[in-house]
Structure 1
Amino acid sequence: MNRDEVPAWILSLDKESVEFIRKFIINSGSLKNISKIYGVSYPTVRTKLDTLIKKIELNSNTEDLEFVNMIKNLVIDERLSLETAKMIIDKYKSERNDE
């Protein structure tokens, strides 16, 4: 995978967050195991995971905004009709919500 193919939400994470995700995956998503690795309580790990989820959601929403803005700019440049733009944006949002 080329760097330009990596989603923006991944690139926005700091090294510590990426390492947390790596350990989380290696440990099959067990927060109990992660709490032992980090030497902290389960609630502390849960809070860390919740914070990481919010970071990812925030940066995923940014990607949505970029796509929607690109489509709107195509309408402004008269390269795409308003009706078609609405259909594309609606379809995009519905598919993103299905993920």
Structure 2
Amino acid sequence: MKIDVVPEWMHELENEDMEFIKNFILASGSLKEIAEQYSVTYPTVRLRLDKLIQKIQIGNDISNDPYISLIKRFVVNEKIDFDTAKILISVYKNTKKGGEA
């Protein structure tokens, strides 16, 4: 059975993320084997998988406000730090409520 519509969470993934998922599946979920394939340590692969999980969770949460989802993606992709993201989201929420920043 082929899926005709790509799930929304997949749109947020980069090509290298999709390649990692493919390799992970082909390795039967073995982080040790993936570490060997990528010539990195097990903790490095574990960190990469955790970040990928975060990306998928953000992309899967369709109830999220698009701006907040964007800020969360920036944090996951290490474009901005967590504290900056908290400030941006707080100011945004206050602005939406009609409050002052």
Normalising by structure 2, we get a TM-score of 0.59
- Counting matched residue pairs gives 63
Please tell me the residue identity of whatever aligns with 1:46.
R
Q: Give matches, 1:62-73, under 5 Å.
A: 63-65=62-64
Q: Give matches, 1:1-99, under 5 Å.
A: 1-2=3-4, 5-61=5-61, 63-65=62-64
* Structure 1: gaps of 5 or more residues: 67-99
Counterpart CA distance in 2 for 1:47 and 1:40 is 11
Counterpart CA distance in 1 for 2:63 and 2:6 is 15
* Structure 2: gaps of 5 or more residues: 66-101
Please tell me the residue identity of whatever aligns with 2:58.
L
Please tell me the residue identity of whatever aligns with 1:19.
E
Kindly report the root-mean-square deviation, in angstroms, between the aligned alpha carbons of the 2 structures.
Answer: 1.3
Select the structure that is richer in helix. Answer: 1
Q: Which has the larger radius of gyration?
A: 1
